[in-house]
């Protein structure tokens, strides 16, 4: 029996659904029930009919699934798969920020810990941030944590000023304006897609700043035959699989999130086999964090 067959058999026995982020290894995406961006996977986690959710991604994503599903068992194949950006702010730091800005609304990017979500009024993902942030009135003061780049991108789109926490993604910092210029020179005419976690000058040098789900949609719907992709290279697997007639070029092959690569077929099989690495978000944090995530899902 192949390891893929072992995993699928175990998933059936355990009544488990396997969710994989677009950045995970190709072989992990291929064995999963659903592959998607943070928003698509959070929505799936909120509605899926399974007793067990195995989250192949990073810890905050599995935590979000656990927050949304108090009655289900959420497993993560490799619990050390963290997100350095999510760890750039603590719950105590959000409390201190709110104390400095009484009356302000605190908004967290989904790339944050449960204790940070518990301090916030609203959560966003890169896939819905513009839509969700547009629901705040022009007079509302906004504190946006932890990603300065996503926050800066959305405030720019909406013509607003937010107080931005200086967090960032180390993987998306690898892309430079020079790298984009080199990719354009190598593939003339191909549009450049980058993730909103990229810095402002990089976003300005690109054609579109999109979530990973937005990139998949663009690739599907666009008539472009060649596309330059500025995000974690794991997404190329899905883009190429879904669009075999199109060619995708990474801005750089060096854009790898080491944590997203920690899920392997072996640790996925082992966690299902042993039902280990259960993600537990303690109370009252889980209940408090659920408000911000459900407020987001209610908007779309
Ligand atoms: P998406 O929600 O666009 O998939 O982004 C998740 C992420 O961690 C990007 O670095
Ligand atoms: Fe976190 Fe960046 Fe990895 Fe996404 S790519 S999980 S933001 S470190």
pLDDT tens readout for residues 188-228: 999 999 999 999 999 999 999 999 999 999 999 999 999 99
* pLDDT grade for 15, boundaries at 50, 70 and 90: very high
Please, what is the average pLDDT of the chain?
Answer: 97
Ligand nearest to the CA of 212: 1
Residues 39, 41, 47, 50: what is their CA dihedral angle, to the nearest 10 degrees?
A: -170
pLDDT at 46: 87
- How far apart are the C-alpha atoms of 29 and 125, rounded to whole Å? 20
User: Residue 93: is its pLDDT beyond 90?
Assistant: yes
Confidence bin at 300 (pLDDT 50/70/90):
confident
Q: Quick check: 287 and 26 in contact, CB under 8 A?
A: no
Q: Using pLDDT thresholds of 50, 70 and 90, give the confidence band for residue 80.
A: very high
pLDDT band, very low/low/confident/very high, at 235 (cuts 50, 70, 90): very high
pLDDT, position 18: 98
Q: Which residues form the pocket of ligand 2, taking CB atoms under 6 Å from any ligand atom?
A: 58, 83-85, 111, 169-172, 197, 232, 257, 259-260
- What is the average per-residue pLDDT within 271-300? 96
Please, which pLDDT band fits residue 274 given cuts at 50, 70 and 90?
Answer: very high
pLDDT confidence of 231, banded at 50, 70, 90?
A: very high
Answer whether 112 contacts ligand 1 (Cβ < 6 A): no
Q: What's the rounded mean pLDDT across residues 55-68?
A: 97
- Judged by average pLDDT, the poorest of 42-51, 94-103, 111-120, 163-172 is 42-51
DSSP 35: E
Q: Please report, rounded to a whole number, the percentage of residues in the chain having pLDDT higher than 90.
A: 96
Alpha-carbon span 192 to 196, nearest angstrom:
13
Query: Which ligand is closest in space to the CA of residue 84?
Result: 2
pTM: 0.96
pLDDT at 66 over 80: yes
Q: Is residue 24 lining ligand 1, measured as CB closer than 6 Å?
A: no
Sign of the dihedral through C-alpha 33, 34, 35, 38? negative
Q: How far is it, in rounded angstroms, from Cα 174 to Cα 190? A: 20
Closest atom of ligand 1 to 23 CA is: 4
Name the burial class of residue 298, with classes exposed (0-12), middle (13-18) and buried (19+) by CB atoms within 10 angstroms of its CB. Answer: exposed
């Amino acid at each position: 029996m192949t390891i893929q067959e072992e995993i699928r058999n175990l998933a059936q026995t355990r009544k488990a659904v396997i969710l994989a982020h677009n950045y995970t290894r190709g072989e992990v995406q291929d064995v999963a029930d659903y592959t998607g961006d943070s928003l698509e996977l959070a929505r799936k986690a909120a509605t899926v009919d399974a007793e067990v959710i195995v989250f192949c991604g990073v810890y905050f994503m599995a935590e979000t699934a656990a927050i949304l599903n108090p009655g289900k068992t959420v497993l993560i194949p490799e619990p050390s798969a963290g997100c350095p950006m999510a760890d750039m702010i603590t719950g105590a730091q959000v409390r201190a920020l709110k104390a400095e800005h009484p009356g302000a609304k605190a908004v967290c990017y989904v790339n944050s810990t449960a204790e940070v979500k518990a301090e916030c009024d609203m959560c966003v993902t890169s896939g819905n941030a513009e839509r969700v942030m547009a629901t705040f009135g022009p007079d509302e003061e906004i504190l946006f944590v932890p990603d300065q780049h996503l926050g800066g991108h959305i405030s720019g789109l909406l013509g607003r000023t937010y107080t931005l926490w200086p967090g960032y993604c180390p993987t998306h910092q690898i892309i430079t304006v020079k790298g984009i210029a080199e990719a354009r020179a190598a593939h003339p005419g191909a549009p450049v897609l980058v993730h909103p976690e990229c810095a402002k000058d990089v976003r300005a040098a690109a054609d579109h700043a999109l979530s990973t789900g937005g990139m998949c949609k663009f690739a599907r719907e666009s008539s472009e035959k060649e596309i330059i992709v500025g995000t974690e290279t794991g997404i190329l697997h899905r883009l190429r699989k879904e669009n075999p007639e199109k060619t995708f070029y990474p801005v750089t092959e060096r854009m790898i999130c080491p944590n997203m690569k920690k899920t392997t077929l072996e640790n996925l099989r082992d966690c299902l086999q042993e039902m280990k690495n259960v993600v537990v978000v303690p109370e009252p944090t889980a209940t408090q964090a659920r408000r911000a995530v459900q407020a987001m899902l209610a908007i779309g």
